[in-house]
Amino acid sequence: MWILPRLAFILFVGGVALLLWMSDRADKEERRATLISDILWLEQNLRFHLIRNEELLGRIDQAHTASPAAFESFTRTLFGFESGLRQLIWLGNDGAVRLAHPITMDPNLVGDAMDAAPSRQSFRLARSLGKPVYSAAYPFFTNDWQFEVHVPVSREGRIVGVAVGVYRIRDLLGDSVPWWLAERYRISIIGDSGKALGTRSKIESSVTEEGYQVAFDPPGWGLTLHAVPYHAPRPLASTLLSASLVILATIVLWSLWILRRHVLRRQAVEEQLRQEHAFRKAMEDSLDTGMRARNLDGEIIYVNPAFCRMVGWSAEELIGRHPPMPYWADDYLDATLAIHDRVLAGEGPEEGFELKLKRRNGEVIDVLIHEAPLIDAHGRHSGWMGSMVDITERKQAEERARQQQDRLQSTARLVAMGEMASSIAHELNQPLAAISSYCTGAVNLLRNDAPPAEVVPALDKAVEQARRAGQVIRRIYNLARHSEDRFESIRLGERIDAALAQMEGEIRQKGIRVTLDLQAQPSIEGDPVLLEQALFNLFRNAVESMRDTPIHQRQIDIRLTCADQYALLTIADRGCGIDAGVADKLFDPLFTTKAEGMGMGLAICRSVVENHRGRLSFEANVGGGTVFHILLPMAHQ
């Protein structure tokens, strides 16, 4: 029975509220009906004034526009009819202002208002249509607004000009709105932007929020006539009763609002929790990293799908398990248990650690594990969260790379041995050929019973070339080891002469001219045999490159200069030159452009020069052929 008083109270309050509402509604409807009737009457009255003024402006004749005095007289007569007009302008057919009264409507006029009046657009439209046209409202001065009516004037069927009447909105309302209407309502003309362009009001009082507006056409352009009734005080009893009902209703609504806000907050929190749980679940399910959580006793309390896929056991089979775990590798149980105990004791490696685990099918995998403390909602340490990454493929790739590197090193050693053998064969070719030549000459002398004095020099030279061959072998071996042993101070000019002496016969035979510029005689630290052999190879290449060059053009220019503690040797020939397609591979071992070449000469030259802390380069000769540059550091004095 406790609900009946409350229901009666609710019905009573509802009945009183309904009665007050119906009474107030009827009063409002009556006031609104009166408002609509008054505003429609005012709109008709304003339209009558505007149409009457159109007719009066259309009756202007030639006598009225004959002189400024006649035009002013006509204007004053027209203004006397409470027409609302504040200026009259007579425009010719070209739109130029012929007459105007008053010339300026306000001596304090500033800004660009005069540039906007009269409207050129309205003038052209009125002439083309042959009927009155209204312009858009525009600001005149401060908060005053005005608009124009353009009335074309015809004589004998031909438009002779346009009479422009200028209305000021504030004065139009002042002339057209009666006093009794201004006491009831605040009358305003509203622009298309919602701004009040003019207002008519006779008393200062607050207005209600209710109002009524009708289109103000003419002049149109989005103007509306708006009326708002003034606020009338309500009876005190009705006010008190309404206030009481409002207060009670407010209290009830406030209570309901508090309860509703609490329910909504709870629902929002629950929805947020569901979304966060779904988001975390989706994120964890999409990870390739295995996640496993354990409490402080080592019991598994959570695993994600990636971890289950990694080890082959389901979450139901793993959650609640204690060590030893089924995924621990049998051969590594002791090591796994030791690291497990270290993690539970808080001594796990911060940088992570690698372990061997076992899949359900018995396959052993390598994993990288990082452990982090698991903190609950109260900030207490409740366990450990571990992330695991399967690095089995990476381990296998590292092993394959190591094996491949070992094979590459073995191959590199074999290639180096091959290059060493090629180098020795190439460098020994010259001294062995000289030994053979000298021995053959000695044999021929002995067969011809030549005296020993003629045979001994040839044998001495053969012995010298044999010694030189031995030195070549030792120097190439040292070069392969990047050794700087047995370096001595040598004069570079002497090595050039010695290398040219070995080529003297071939140079003379092929008719090659050699120009020497050895005014500078720098000393360098180096191996004389290797440097001489490198120079010999370069001279021989220069000679062989001019095989197809006309005899009168065969020339080798050799120049030795010094600058900035460096000796620069330039060897220029007039041979076939070096093709741009092979320039990048010119110094590569075993690369050659000669059918009978071994491809080691320039490679050895560069190795010798670089072993002497120098640089070997080349460029095209301007006159044809190639120029080689050897840059070597000079010996310290």
What is the tens place of the pLDDT at every residue in 272-305? 888 888 887 777 777 778 888 999 888 999 888 8
**Confidence band for 630, pLDDT divided at 50, 70 and 90:** very high
Helix, strand, coil percentages for the chain (3-state, nearest 5):
50, 25, 30
The first and second tokens of residue 295, run together, are 């409490």
Q: Which neighbouring-strand residues pair with 207?
A: 230
CB atoms within 10 A of CB 578: 16
Beta bridge partners of 182: none
Pairing between strand 513-517 and 555-563? parallel
The percentage of the chain sitting over the pLDDT mark of 70, rounded to a whole number, equals 81
- Read off the pLDDT of residues 188-246 as tens digits, 9 standing for 90 and up: 888 888 888 888 876 555 555 567 888 887 787 778 888 888 776 666 766 676 677 67
CATH classification for the domain delimited by 287-390, as one of 3.40.640.10, 3.30.450.20, 3.30.70.20, 3.90.550.10: 3.30.450.20
Is residue 146 within 8 A of residue 168, CB to CB? The reply is yes
Name the residue with tokens 């911060």: 350
- CATH topology (fold) of 20-232: Beta-Lactamase (3.30.450)
Please confirm whether the linkage preceding 139 is cis (ω < 30° from 0): no
Total H helices, total E strands in the chain:
15, 22
Domain spans of the chain, in order of start: 20-232, 287-390, 395-483, 486-633
pLDDT at 413 over 50: no
Using the predicted structure, report yes or no on whether residue 116 has a pLDDT greater than 60.
Answer: no
Range 38-51 average pLDDT = 85
Second CATH level (architecture) for the domain 486-633: 2-Layer Sandwich (3.30)
Cis, bond preceding 118 (omega within 30 deg of 0): yes
Would the pTM count as exceeding 0.85? no
Q: What does the angle CA 161 – CA 165 – CA 168 come to, to the nearest 5 degrees?
A: 160
Same fold, 20-232 and 287-390: yes
pLDDT tens track for 79-107 = 876 667 888 898 888 888 888 888 764 44
pLDDT value, residue 264: 84
- For residue range 425-462, list pLDDT tens digits in order: 766 777 787 788 888 888 888 888 778 787 788 788 88
How far apart are alpha carbons 408 and 385 in whole angstroms? 43
Rounded distance between C-alpha atoms, residue 418 and residue 603, angstroms:
14
Is residue 123 classed exposed, middle or buried when 0-12, 13-18 and 19+ CB atoms within 10 A define those classes? buried
Do the beta carbons of residue 136 and residue 116 sit within 8 Å?
A: no
Q: Which residue has the higher pLDDT, 24 or 16?
A: 24
* 143 alpha carbon, distance to own chain's centre: 50
